[in-house]
Structure formats: C-alpha cells, structure tokens
Chains A and B, each alone.
Chain A
Amino acid sequence: MNALSLFKTRALASPQDGDGDAASPRCAPAWRAPLVMLALGLAACLLLPDQLGLLTRIFIMGLFVLSLDLVVGIAGLATLGHAAMFGVGAYAAGVFALRVMPDPLVGLAVGVLAGAVLAAATGAFLLRYQGFTFLMLTVAVAQMVLSLAHKARDWTGGDDGLSGYVMGPLLGQFQFDLEGRLAAFYALAVLVVCFYAARRLVDSPFGMAVRGIHENRARMAALGTPVYRRLWGMYAAAGALAGAAGALSAQTTAVVGLDSLSFSLSAEALVMLILGGAGRLSGALVGAAVFLVLHHTAASINPYHWLFVVGGLLMLVVLVSPAKAVAWLRNRRGGRA
C-alpha cells in the first residue's frame, strides 16, 4: 500500500526557495476529489440512463470500499469481516423502514448508527490483536453476526431475506421512481458527502496519527499516542460509513439478503480496494467501478469465466502494482524529455 501519494507533496509555489529550503508538504483541499467524483457521477448518470442500476450499485459499493480503505489502507488493519457492518446497516435500515417509518434520510442515519455501534463494540475486542490473529478474528465476528441474523428470522427474514417495505419520498418531496433515477442521485449524493467527510478525517491530525500507527506503531507509542484508542476511533468511523452503504443498498433495492453479511462480500470488497489502490481513498472508488463493470460484462457470459478475469487481474496487480506501473511510466517519459 503505497503512501507516497498520500500527502500530495507537490511544492506549493516554486520547487526551491532562495535559501535552499524545501517547501512544506501540503495536503490537497478536501473538497477537490469529492467534487470530481460528483461531476463524474452526474455525467455517468446523464449519459447512461439505462445503466442506472449498475451505477447505483457502483456508488454504493464505492462507499463500502471507501469505508474499508479507512481500515485497511489508512489504519493498516487487514480485515475480512467488514461486511458485518454493511449488513447490519442494511438490515437496520430495512427493519426501520418496515416497522417504524419509511423516511430515507432517517433510515440512513439509523444504518450509520448501526454500523458505527457494531464496529465500536467488536473493535473494542478485535483491536487488542494484530496481524493474522486479528484477521481471523474479524472473520469469526462476521460469521457470528451472520449466524445471528440467520437465527433471528422473525426480524431479518432469514434465507428469504427482508422485503416488503417501500421507501417514502426523499426530503418529503422526491419519490423513488421505477427507473431508479432518484436512487442513483441519492446514492451519489451520499457517496460524495461521505467521501468529503472521509477526506477531512484522513487529513486531520487524528487521521495522520492513524497513518503513523500504520507505518510504525512503536514510533507512535514513543510519541505518546494512545494507539488502541485511535485505531478504535477509525474502526468505528469506518463502521459508520459501511453502515451508510448498507442502508443505501437496502433503500435502493428494497430488499436485504443474508449475502450482505457474507464472507464473499468482505473478500470482494478487499479485492476491489486492492485493484484500485489502497490508502488513497479515491482508489477505493476506482476499484469498485472497475470491478463492477468487469463483473457486469463478464458474468453475463458465464459466471465462472468471470473468475478467470478477476483472478488473473488480481495476480497481475500484485505482481505489477499500479503505483509501480505509473512510476515506471513517469520515469520513461521523464527519461526521454
């Protein structure tokens, strides 16, 4: 996970001042990338009106993978149980819409809260461990949540899934239409807002401390950082965003299945993150988009042949990471000039 681009250490003005000082490293403004995302998303929605379902899924998965990037790319904690927060957010939003009220934004808040609470509760236990042990424990926790969801059939619908709820109008005004236009804009808006929030979080002293913990835990402890507490905070924040993604999924598809808590969802999200590049936040969105578009085209041919594509891509990305490829390309161009 290459962090070289993390701080966008472009010098602000000229490369060197007169007295030989290097310019200070500066972060890009937090609104820039989300704005680009918004523009691209809107363009896609307007140019591809019959792919709105796919686009909505891309936005939602993009948000989920973004939340995963906070844990894996920023905090450096490899997890295979992140779907638990997604699923909990989805079921919370679905049950809320079914039994309490169908307002989308309130339901979204409920999903965010559910994801955050689960992450905070499980993180308190999980973050005492590191490495392979931590990884396996995240799997265990997620599988236990899945088993509990399966058992609580009365609430979750079990194998049949949770359905039968209809979302109310957004902001009291805009009805969810059958073509999925509102759903797409809604998901995009939530994604952009959450992306901005994540960007602010990562570029704050807290975010920088977490990145420091990722790169060298011993150094951070020697600086007085309460390591466990910081990681816990980041894990809970990631849980909140994952819960938001889950809630969006529940609200835009009007159904929640047990697959939203599955191990394969966690693994797929990890694959998407790596494809796009971890640690940069924008990579999460790129990876989700690439993966889902590929899946959409390849899987319609034969579900197994899709595995050839993604498997081969994964092996390729590991052997030749995109960051290295870009650096190599840059060197080639620089050498020629």
Chain B
Amino acid sequence: MITFSNILIDGLAYGMVLFVIAVGLSVTLGLMRFVNLSHGAFAMVGGYCVALLTRELQWSFWIAVPLAVLATGLLGALLEALVLRHLYQRKELDQVLFTIGLTFVLIASTNALVGPQVQMVQLPPSLSGSVDLGFRTLPAQRLLVIGVGLAVAVLAALTVTRTRFGIWLRAAVDHAGTASTLGIPIRRVQCLTFAAGAAMAGLGGVLGAEVMPLEPYYALKYLVLVLVVVAVGGMGSIAGSLCAAIVLGLIETASKYLASDWGSLFFFAAMALFLAWRPNGLLKR
C-alpha cells in the first residue's frame, strides 16, 4: 500500500509538471497552429534561472522563482515578436525544423554559458521536509507541485472562460481573420499567449527539476514527453492537457516503480491507444 500511495503522489506530481510545461505549447499549437519545438527550451531556461539565482546570487527560492518565470515569459515574448511570428504562414515541417534548429542553438548556448553539468535546484528548508495532512504525511515538494499545477489549471481555465482576454483568445483560435476584423488585437493576443505559455513552461522546469534534471540537452530530451501530452490532450485544450498529463504521469510513474526494465513502453503504448481512440484529443470528438 505504501508503494501505491507513492505511485499516486509521485505520479500526480510528475503529471502536474508535464501539464504546466505542456499547457503553453498546447494553447500555442491550438491558437497559432504553430509547431514550436523549442518549447522545451523555455522549461530549461526557467529551471536554469532559479538554479543560478539561488546558487550564485544566494537569492531566496521564493524570489527567484517568480523572477525566473517572468524572465522566461519575457524571453518568449521577444522570441515570438522578433522571430517566430514570421513563420506562422509556413508549412508545418518548416516550423518543426526551424524550431529544432533554434533549440540546438539554445542548447549549445546554454553549454557555452554555463557548462554541461547538471544544475541542481536547491529547495528551501520549508520544502525539503514533509507535511502532515492528518491521514498521511507527504513530501512538501510534491504537495507544492500538485498545488501549483492545479492553480495553473484553474487560472488558465478562468482566464479563458471569464476574462475579456479569454474571449479574444477563443475568437482568435476559432478564426483569426474574422476576429481581427472585429477589432480584436490579434498580434497582442498571440504574443501574450505565447509569453504566458513560455512562462508556465519555465515554472514547470523549476518544479520538475528533481525528476527531469537540468542540463543543456534538457530542451530536446523531454520535448517528446511534452509533445505526447499535447497530442493526447488535444491541441488547444487546457482540460485535455491536464487529463492527459495526469493519466500519462501516473502510468509512467507506475511503470517506473513496478516494471522498470520495460522502460517507457507502457507510457507510449498508452499514448498510442489514446491517440488512436481519440485522434483530436481526449476530451474532443
């Protein structure tokens, strides 16, 4: 039973990390139909920022994280406005290849600036211990991750459904041309959404630094996992990404605990089955 609850907590936390990283990519893919394979780099940048700020500048974790998230968002906004928006009209394969090339350059830059070693994120003492919830004691870090994941999900859902920006976003996803003739500032929506997605990815990079170690190849190594979540959850669907991330996170964690020499077979088999059953996403028909 101990193993079961471990799997549950670790799997949920892992799923939340995947969700937080993937949600930005899912919305960008659904909104701009832009295949951005450099998305993994944002997660990497966020994690690196926190690692460096806490280690080199001795800043508090709780200050470093928001700053890192902001910085990653800014980087995303700059990248989108200056470079990526010119590729929106190009073919999918062109976008794939350009963003892979960009990722290569970012990986090489990270190595050139900071070196190839793994960066550890030092958690503050408050997160290193356990929290007694009454019925069970759970690692504080896991609880934080799950909490943050849920918060991101709720925040994203509320933004999309309740705010004016959310209406703009949904209109733009449905039909950018018509939306712009209605006076919706499409460029601003696109840039902000992209930046928000990048920022979320950065947050995910920090939260997941324990399971997904930060080193220059991070940007490419975990890209496949993020793409899987986006594909299974359905492009543009926040709820879908959440479901997909949790289910797949649980499956992967369970297989790591119970059948480790099968590798990620069950993860990818589950993914293939879900995609075959619902090609447009778990929650779409």
Contacts and interface: CB of A to CB of B under 8 A. Distances in A.
A248 to B, nearest CB: 27
Interface residues of B, number: 44
Contact of B102 (A143, A271, A315): A315
Interface stretch (A14-22, A125-133, A161-169, A289-297): A125-133
A147 B275 contact: no
Size range of the interface on A? Answer: 35 or more
Given A307-B104, A308-B105, A310-B101, A136 B262 contact: no
Task: Among A131, A140, A141, A308, find the residue whose CB has the most chain B CB atoms closer than 10 A.
Answer: A140
A133 B234 CA distance: 10
Interface string B4-16: 0000000000000
A318 interface: yes
A267 B104 CA distance: 12
B274 to A, nearest CB: 10
A136 B267 CA distance: 13
A65 B224 CA distance: 21
B108 A308 contact: yes
A308 B275 contact: no
Given A136-B231, A140-B228, A307 B107 contact: yes
B71 interface: no
A137 B276 contact: yes
B100 A304 contact: no
B98 A133 contact: no
Consensus secondary structure, chain B interface: helix
Contact of B97 (A131, A139, A271, A307): A271
A78 B107 contact: no
A133 to B, nearest CB: 5
B263 A308 contact: no
A307 B108 contact: yes
A240 B235 CA distance: 34
Interface string A250-273: 000000000000011001001100
B227 interface: yes
Interface of A: 1, 72, 78, 125, 128-129, 131-133, 136-137, 139-141, 143-144, 146-148, 150-151, 263-264, 267, 270-271, 274, 304-308, 310-315, 317-319
10 contacts: A72-B93, A78-B93, A129-B279, A132-B92, A146-B263, A263-B224, A304-B112, A308-B109, A314-B97, A315-B102
